[in-house]
Structure 1
Amino acid sequence: MAVEVEEKSGGAPRRQKVQSAQIATDILKGLADLSPSTSLSKLAQHLGMPASKVHRYLQALIASDFAEQDPATGHYCLGREALFVGMAAVRSLDVAREALPKLIELRDEFNETCFLALWGNQGPSVIHVEKPARAITVVTQVGSVLPLLSSSTGLVFSAYLPKADTQPLLEQELETPMAPSADKLEQQLTHIRSQGMHAVHGLLMSGVNALSAPIFSAGNTLAGVITMVGAEPSFNAELTGPHAIKLQAAANAITQRMNGEMPGSP
């Protein structure tokens, strides 16, 4: 991944090969755009570069763990180092800095899995998880992308994000056999907005309940969603229960710290 730069010393140009950060960055962005994985030809087409050139750069990125290739499919994806850098950048955001202490408080009080999700190019993406201190836990992984219609997190994003952001992904999920009609979905999203949070009982996974609440930044912009997940029957996912009350209080506190306000608040 080298680019040639020309330096002048004593009036004579001197060529020195250095690594092309720009091209490597473009390829990493392309892998992110086409995540979770893509073929060499699709990546080259997306970037507008010759496949042979993209392949050379990919080999260098793989060698440094910034990219990976699936031996079964031959497809490429972001590597461990790229994910590490990405997560570090995400955690530097205001919403993550403000949310993490509250997630720890919720985890400590209820001994349940608590996580923060932000909106990514593929939908709601889990960027931080606080796991409970117990042998058996509800597994939620950092980097997981959650569905919009079959998770409490996704439904809260669907309720509060502009339709332009969610419509392409919603249209795909609405085509699945178990999806609600467009009218029923709109009724559900209206109900979520009226409640200010959402609870599900075994929707994404049988026997697992979840509560999700939105976080807002200045301008009433949805900044993220915090979620608490637990197994039946110990986890109370009722909107009037203690878990919901504390989760909503945490979301409100984070929103206040972000200079935000729940839409419709007086």
Structure 2
Amino acid sequence: MPGNSTAVAAVDRAVALLSAFGEEDASLTLTELARRTSLDKSTALRIARTLAGNRMLVQCEDSSWRLGPKLAQLGARYTASFVPEKFVAPELIKLSDDTGESAAIYVREGDTRVCLVRKDSAQSIRHSARPGDAMSLDKGAAGWVIMAFGGHVGELCQSIRERGYHLTRGERTPDVASIAVPLFGAGNTLFGSLALTGPLVRFTDEAAQTHLPRLFAAADAISKILGSEGQSVRR
């Protein structure tokens, strides 16, 4: 059909622009993007703006460009399609069944946490999220655990590291509570966090303390699957 070759070329250029970012590149200037893709600056700018409109690129305050959150969502879905669903999901199912609450794994993507894989509670009243959903790091137990064990400073993060877990109530969503612990991968490096989430009416202090040993045990099992050689945290 007429125009197909042009459309494919535009896709190729967009992919080339995204692929121009290396592992060490937090952001790139338009000039550098054009150089790496052999595009003229006006074409590179047009493509970058289109990608930004679809949340695949973000323009920084200094006018440079960085990869956008939509790519984090797609990446999380890709990861979930071949690692957690096959090897990790059974542990989430067991944890959710044992506690009666929703269980999920979160990883950090830039300044957000992304739900990698999740098992919803079988109860009629429950909190739900979808793999690929991006949320604030500083709202909810899962994000705070990632920040704390990722090296963030401050009294709260230090306290979380000392306890080995964090509990929040109504911080991100009213009437919803969550408790989270860290997950570690190969080399015992931080992978993300494992969280239980449910309605406040069920998430009493007593219930949270009852869930905690099961949460730690599941985190140990999942961390081992991810390549960690030790327990999830000292406790």
Partner-residue secondary structure (3-state), 2:139 = coil
Q: What amino acid is aligned across from residue 26 of structure 1 in structure 2?
A: A
Equivalence for 1:186? 154
Q: In the alignment, is residue 76 of structure 1 matched against residue 54 of structure 2?
A: yes
Point out where structure 2 has 5 or more consecutive residues left out of the alignment: 22-27, 57-70
Partner-residue secondary structure (3-state), 1:138 = coil
Contact 1:207 1:231 in 2 (8 A): yes
Q: 2:115 aligns with which of 106, 123, 126?
A: 126
Superposition deviation, residue 113 in structure 1: 1.7
Equivalence for 2:183? 215
Mark the CA change 1:94 to 1:161 in structure 2 (over 3 Å): closer, same or farther: farther
Point out where structure 1 has 5 or more consecutive residues left out of the alignment: 4-17, 32-41, 60-66, 70-74, 164-184
Residue by residue, what CA displacement relative to the aligned partner does 1:179-203 show, whole Å, maximum 9, x if unpaired? xxxxxx6111111111111111222
Query: Mean alpha-carbon deviation: is it higher for 97-106 or for 150-159?
Result: 97-106
Question: Matched residues, percent identical?
Answer: 21
Superposition deviation, residue 238 in structure 1: 5.5
Q: In the alignment, is residue 228 of structure 1 matched against residue 196 of structure 2?
A: yes
Q: What amino acid is aligned across from residue 25 of structure 1 in structure 2?
A: V
Equivalence for 1:144? 133
Q: In the alignment, is residue 114 of structure 1 matched against residue 92 of structure 2?
A: no
Superposition deviation, residue 20 in structure 1: 8.1
Q: What amino acid is aligned across from residue 109 of structure 2 in structure 1?
A: G
Equivalence for 1:72? none
Partner-residue secondary structure (3-state), 1:117 = strand
Q: 1:89 aligns with which of 67, 75, 78?
A: 78
Q: What amino acid is aligned across from residue 155 of structure 1 in structure 2?
A: W
Q: How does 1:1-266 map to 2 (within 5 A)?
A: 23-28=13-18, 47-48=33-34, 49=39, 50-52=41-43, 75-77=53-55, 86-91=75-80, 94=83, 97-163=86-152, 186-236=154-204, 241-260=209-228, 261-262=230-231, 265=234
Q: CA RMSD in A?
A: 3.9
Superposition deviation, residue 99 in structure 1: 2.8
Task: Give the distance between the partners of 2:187 and 2:107, measured in 1 at CA.
Answer: 17
Mark the CA change 1:88 to 1:140 in structure 2 (over 3 Å): closer, same or farther: closer
Q: What amino acid is aligned across from residue 207 of structure 1 in structure 2?
A: D
Contact 2:103 2:195 in 1 (8 A): yes
Mark the CA change 1:150 to 1:115 in structure 2 (over 3 Å): closer, same or farther: same
Contact 2:76 2:115 in 1 (8 A): no
Superposition deviation, residue 145 in structure 1: 2.1
Q: What amino acid is aligned across from residue 213 of structure 1 in structure 2?
A: V
Mark the CA change 1:45 to 1:96 in structure 2 (over 3 Å): closer, same or farther: farther
Mark the CA change 1:52 to 1:23 in structure 2 (over 3 Å): closer, same or farther: closer
Mark the CA change 1:27 to 1:131 in structure 2 (over 3 Å): closer, same or farther: farther
Partner-residue secondary structure (3-state), 2:143 = helix
Normalising by structure 1, we get a TM-score of: 0.62
Mark the CA change 1:22 to 1:262 in structure 2 (over 3 Å): closer, same or farther: farther
Normalising by structure 2, we get a TM-score of: 0.68
Partner-residue secondary structure (3-state), 2:196 = strand
Q: How many residues align?
A: 207
| Structure with the greater alpha carbon radius of gyration | 1
Mark the CA change 1:76 to 1:135 in structure 2 (over 3 Å): closer, same or farther: same
Superposition deviation, residue 213 in structure 1: 1.0
